[in-house]
Structure 1
Amino acid sequence: MVYYKSREEVELIKESALILGKAHGEVAKAIKPGVKTIELDRIAEEYIRDNGGVPSFKNYNGFPSSLCISVNEDVVHGFPSDYELKDGDIISVDGGVFYKGFHSDSAYTYPIGEVDDEIINLLKRTKDSLYKGIEKAIFGNRIGDIAYAIQEYVEGFGYGVVRELVGHGVGKDLHESPEVPNYGKRGRGPKLKDGLVIAIEPMVNLGTRNVVQESDGWTIRTADRKPSAHYEHTVAVFKEGTEVLTTHKFIEENFNF
């Protein structure tokens, strides 16, 4: 069942999203070669809690950390660890905040130091595909319109679109209906109605779309071990227009990509 939000509830999600956006900004300041990914997790959790929020991911179905941090061929759900970032890596940072009864959810993938042009293009095009999807997230359209826009764009470059993992509704629960795939057909799927809040999150691989789950029970990586990129925003659909509730502004102020 899809839970549609009132304007007042969306304003609360925006408050949550602002804390999340600023936490992402604090993480962005620290991202550089030599930094352990567990330190990034500590920075995010400290900022979120200091500002009255709770990290949405921590203890979610047993997940041990505040951020999902996925490096190189890891697609999503990676654990922060003692791994030290090195020149040429890419790192997906995915976070959520629970505040005043509502969740927000967003992600960003960073290049570390000197990264191959082929991989930089993957990141840029995956980020572009997020906005291609958001352009179709308008009242009266269907979920398939978002999915098709993302898939058509990134497959045009020969990339693989992950199918096993999808975007989702966001609200009182971190994951609500409907699912928002990054592949599909125009005009198919649930209709986008007034008050729908969804996370759109393309996960795009440089090589095959196929993925496997690591033995930790969480981390998803590409089957061919080629890099994967991930960007995400939480958006609200209204009759009068769509609003992006999360922000990458504080990331982009503190990290030049």
Structure 2
Amino acid sequence: MLRRSIYKTPVQLRAMLQPGRITADALQAVRAIVAPGVTTAELDATAARIIESRGAESNFQLVRGYRHTTCVSVNEQVVHGIPGDRVLEPGDIVSIDAGAQYAGWNGDSAITVVVPDPDRPELVAARDELSRVTEGSMWAGIAAMARGTHIGEIGAAIEDHIVGAGHGYGILRDYVGHGIGRKMHEAPSVFNYRVPDPGPRIRPGLVLAIEPMVVAGSEETFVEEDEWTVSTVDGTAGSHWEHSVAVHDGGIWVLTAPDGGAAGLEPFGVRPVAFE
């Protein structure tokens, strides 16, 4: 049996631009309505409305047994939280993961938002810092993808950024990034920590979903009774950030960032290059 190459052709890369843009737009719309009193189901409905209005479909709903457009994880829930009637409260840390499939190609991205709480500034500051470090580690991994030779360098850069922050945060080990293209989840795996195997080469045609999942305490997690939601055993908060990123002949482009990743990569001295 022939194995499908993990590298896309220039035509295939161009086909991934639109699902990336749709995914980015959906998450921007969701971010805008995160506030106390909003339910996680309302966040999900907002993402669904944007994706469907653009002629795309939720690729999350193509996963067997899952019927929602997003995963919404709150506080100790790190990933795969199921949207429903939970009402957001001041001080909550909320991770929203979404993806769109358009014309047979996929985008996948996640953001974390902290709900303001003027009565608990220390809690909000701690959770903002967790989100900031997690997002920064994602951009460190993307910068490594732009400069590196093998996929293993991405995980090393993510881990170094998190450890370098000095907070003792945990990195989830059982949940990792992945390739993306015709399917939302493809080979290869993209670890969020240093591993001995350097992994496949980074070269034009490679498209990866880079997604660190970081927790304020122990990295030990369990799956809740709904058989989806992944929560921390010690009850500490989690954060999840993700972008789909393409390497092309001219450089690197973040498919799920409105600016191609320019703002996030600037601190790392990397400038994304657009392609059409």
TM-score class, shorter: over 0.9
Supply the distance in 2 between the matched residues of 1:125 and 1:140 (Cα, whole angstroms): 21
Aligned to 2:207: 197
Deviation at 1:188? 1.5
Aligned to 1:253: none
Aligned length: 249
Supply the distance in 2 between the matched residues of 1:68 and 1:116 (Cα, whole angstroms): 22
Aligned to 1:254: none
Aligned to 1:138: 146
Supply the distance in 2 between the matched residues of 1:141 and 1:236 (Cα, whole angstroms): 14
Aligned to 1:174: 184
Alignment partner of 2:236 out of 226, 245, 250: 226
Q: Deviations over 1:120-178 (max 9, x none)?
A: 11111111111100011037611210001111111232110101000000000110000
Aligned to 2:27: 24
Q: 187-196 vs 56-65, which deviates more?
A: 187-196
TM-score in terms of structure 1 length: 0.92
Supply the distance in 2 between the matched residues of 1:43 and 1:138 (Cα, whole angstroms): 33
Q: Deviations over 1:179-237 (max 9, x none)?
A: 00101147712221220100000100100111111111111111211000110000012
Alignment partner of 2:248 out of 213, 232, 238: 238
Aligned to 1:255: none
Letter aligned with residue 150 of structure 1: I
Maintained 8 Å contact 2:77/2:237: yes
Supply the distance in 2 between the matched residues of 1:140 and 1:20 (Cα, whole angstroms): 26
Structure 1 residue runs of 4+, over 6 Å off? Answer: none
Letter aligned with residue 149 of structure 1: A
1:44-59 pair list within 5 angstroms = 44-59=47-62
Question: Greater relative contact order: 1 or 2 (C-alpha under 8 angstroms, separation 6 or more)?
Answer: 1
Maintained 8 Å contact 2:6/2:188: no
Maintained 8 Å contact 2:114/2:124: no
Maintained 8 Å contact 1:13/1:102: yes
Stretches of structure 1 lacking an aligned partner (at least 5 in a row): 250-257
Q: 233-242 vs 191-200, which deviates more?
A: 233-242
Q: 205-214 vs 178-187, which deviates more?
A: 178-187
TM-score in terms of structure 2 length: 0.86
**Matching of residue 111 in structure 1 with residue 114 in structure 2:** yes
Alignment partner of 1:160 out of 170, 178, 182: 170
Aligned-pair identity (%): 39
Stretches of structure 2 lacking an aligned partner (at least 5 in a row): 118-122, 260-276
Supply the distance in 2 between the matched residues of 1:135 and 1:183 (Cα, whole angstroms): 15
Q: Deviations over 1:16-47 (max 9, x none)?
A: 11111111121122110000100111111111
**Matching of residue 188 in structure 1 with residue 198 in structure 2:** yes
Supply the distance in 2 between the matched residues of 1:8 and 1:190 (Cα, whole angstroms): 22
